[in-house]
A = this chain, B = another copy of it.
Amino acid sequence: MSEPLENQPVIASTIADTVCSKLQNAIVEGIIPAGSKISEPALANEFGISRGPLREALSRLEACNLIERKPNVGARVVTLTRQHLVEIYFIRESLEGLAARQAAENMSDKDINELDVLLEKHQQQIKQDQSYYQKEGDMDFHFRIIKGSKNSHLIDMFSNDLYHLIRLYRYQFGMVSKRVPRAFVEHGQIVDAIRQHDGELAQFLMSRHIRSSRINVEKMLDEHLAITD
């Protein structure tokens, strides 16, 4: 982590906000490695700010579960474990199922058309840069559905917590999956269900989509661990 953390794109108003966003990206991208200790004086110095706003930023990082803090000891970037990843998948299977259902009930035709546009864009991306799609494109789609649910608390939970963790694991475990084409097809099915305002079907498809993804990831992790160990 001897890299320029202080120049990373972001638009915010308070220093704590800015720094928080930069740190989020830095952690997700591994510039600050998982499990590493965070020194307040060092970081504050690196950003050229005081420890006050830095601590505020750390508070928010703790809230989105990117770091863990112990009183009088300090903060560490979370460690990535298979178990934690699987836990998140189960939660997503449940929550995004709900999101899809409510999206089918609450999305306007305009919203849905924009979803179509997104899918089309993704279809192009897949041919070019599977890695990018897998990291960000897929996330775009899922987040769009969440927002489509119009359930503001659900949207909040995602934005503050799961969003960053999902990105974190994607970047750090970053394994290219053969499931990308299949997943893309499933996205299409989900959008179809939403278009027909079939909440039950959308929920079923989304839950199964994420469940399949989880099983795939579990399999890949098992193989990978079997090799590295």
Contacts and interface: CB of A to CB of B under 8 A. Distances in A.
A71 interface: yes
Interface in A51-87: 52, 55-56, 59-60, 62-63, 65, 71-72, 84, 87
Interface residues of A, number: 32
Interface stretch (A28-36, A115-123, A146-154, A171-179): A146-154
Contact of A55 (B56, B65, B97): B56
Contacts of A95: 91, 94-95
B52 A88 contact: no
Nearest to A17: B71
A200 interface: no
A50 to B, nearest CB: 11
B152 A84 contact: yes
Interface in A9-44: 13-14, 17
Given A71-B14, A94-B95, A153 B84 contact: yes
A125 to B, nearest CB: 30
A86 to B, nearest CB: 9
A98 interface: yes
A132 interface: no
A216 to B, nearest CB: 20
Interface in A77-116: 84, 87-88, 90-91, 93-95, 97-98, 102
Contacts of A93: 98
A220 interface: no
Nearest to A64: B63
A59 to B, nearest CB: 4
A62 B62 CA distance: 12
- The 6 A-B pairs at the shortest CB distance, nearest first, are namely A63-B63, A59-B59, A94-B98, A87-B153, A13-B71, A14-B71
Interface of A: 13-14, 17, 52, 55-56, 59-60, 62-63, 65, 71-72, 84, 87-88, 90-91, 93-95, 97-98, 102, 151-154, 156-157, 160-161
Given A14-B71, A63-B160, A88-B153, 4 more contacts: A14-B72, A60-B63, A87-B154, A91-B153
